[in-house]
Structure 1
Amino acid sequence: MSILSLHHGDHHVHGETPSLHPVRDFAADWLEATPAAILLRPVGAFLTEWAKATPVGILFQSLHR
């Protein structure tokens, strides 16, 4: 089951002004309502940590410092 929640104007817009980017707001609301949004953070965090643990990631981190 998916729940669609339209949060007009809450994407870093302060005050009671209407949104200037309705297409962007719709896309953000749609993505937040999809099951993929639930998986994006943990998968992204896992891939980031995995990349840092690879020999190339370790070498890059040591060269970057």
Structure 2
Amino acid sequence: MNLKRTFGAILTVLGIIGLIFTGVGVINQSGKITTMVVVGIIAILFFFTGISLIRTTKDEV
């Protein structure tokens, strides 16, 4: 398996976990607003970076 594709999958999973964490924090109104905003932005960056790495990496034999 390609290393870039593996790293992309890891980033995507971390992004999904961060988005879920942010969503739960917002719904429960736990934590400060700035913390939730920062975690949400980082999670979105991880998610979209991981997806783009998976998409743009070509399979080589």
- Report the TM-score range of the alignment, normalised by the length of the smaller protein: 0.3 to 0.5
TM-score (norm 2): 0.37
* Structure possessing the higher relative contact order (Cα contacts under 8 Å, 6 or more residues apart): 2
Structure with the bigger percentage of helix = 2
TM-score (norm 1): 0.35
For the pair shown, which has the larger CA radius of gyration, 1 or 2?
1
